[in-house]
Amino acid sequence: MQVSIDMGTSVQFVLSSALIIYSDGKNSIVTRHPINGVKQEGAVPSLGSGAAITQEFVEQLYRSAHRASGVEILSPNVLCNQPGFISWWAPACVRPLFFESTKNTDEAALLNSLSGKMFPVPAMVFAVRDRKLYAFALARSERPSKDTKMFRAPFWNIYANGNVCMGSAELPKHGGESTISEWENAFYMSAFTHANGAAVTKLKGGFAALCKRNVGKKQFSSEHLVPFDTGATLEAILNACLE
């Protein structure tokens, strides 16, 4: 029996193999199995013995899936772009920041009084995986290399691993390169509402003191940044985002 798929072209694709995925809920193993009996008249196709897929086979699948889209020219700010994951850097700039703390504290009152004013922000590295946003800071406003030392983003709403708590913010529908500006706007235009445990600045008085010091200024001082773990590099934090 011949089993084929009509793809709307002059090329006929014949059933040749199947992939089976084994998973423990977090990690997966994929095996490739030949299909027996496809070319035998009257035979019922069946799975043959499987073997683990190779890197070469994965790359072949990737090329086949992206052949129709042509060559992709990456923007200068993109650091990494692969299926389901993208990372980019943004130079230091001045932006309005928004605060909306419901706590009855002097810190909350100070931040709320500064909401909407202009602040300098450091150069940043952002990453999106499965519509989850990660944010990290750079000491220098230049494109980082894989060995660049990373710092915690000096903002509230960010967990220790760099994952941003976006709350009820409206997020882009996907994490592709065309949505980079949308993700940045979602981050900066949403109100910072709460601390997430990890220290975000070396400055005495914390985040509120940092904002009070910086409001209206033109440049962020990197001396106030907190290193992202001991010696963590760009390569290390991006790999951690993929885990």
Q: Which of 14, 39, 67 is the last residue of a domain?
A: 67
What is the distance between the alpha carbons of residues 138 and 89, in angstroms, rounded to a whole number? Answer: 9
pLDDT confidence of residue 12: 72
pLDDT digits (tens, 9 = 90+) for 30-55: 999 998 887 777 778 888 898 999 88
Specify if 171 maps to a domain: yes
Q: Are residues 116 and 208 in the same domain?
A: yes
pLDDT digits (tens, 9 = 90+) for 138-178: 999 999 999 999 999 999 999 999 999 987 778 888 778 88
What percent of the chain is predicted at pLDDT more than 90?
63
H or E stretch covering 90: strand 85-90
Domain membership of residue 16 as a residue range:
4-67
Q: Which of 67, 89, 115 is the last residue of a domain?
A: 67
Q: Are residues 112 and 139 in the same domain?
A: yes
Which one-letter amino acid corresponds to residue 59? Answer: E
Cβ distance 128 to 134 under 8 Å?
Answer: yes
Q: Are residues 182 and 126 in the same domain?
A: yes
pTM of the model: 0.76
Residue 48 has which token pair? 């043959």
Query: 5 pLDDT band (50/70/90 cuts)?
Result: low
What is the distance between the alpha carbons of residues 167 and 152, in angstroms, rounded to a whole number? Answer: 20
Q: Are residues 63 and 83 in the same domain?
A: no
- Beta strands 28-36 and 17-23 are antiparallel
What mean pLDDT value characterizes the chain? 89
Taking residue 121's Cβ as centre, other Cβ atoms within 10 Å add up to 20
pLDDT confidence of residue 73: 75
Rounded (10°) angle between helices 106-114 and 206-214: 30
Specify if 181 maps to a domain: yes
Residue 8 has which token pair? 């709307």
pLDDT digits (tens, 9 = 90+) for 107-130: 999 999 999 999 999 999 999 998
H or E stretch covering 152: strand 151-152
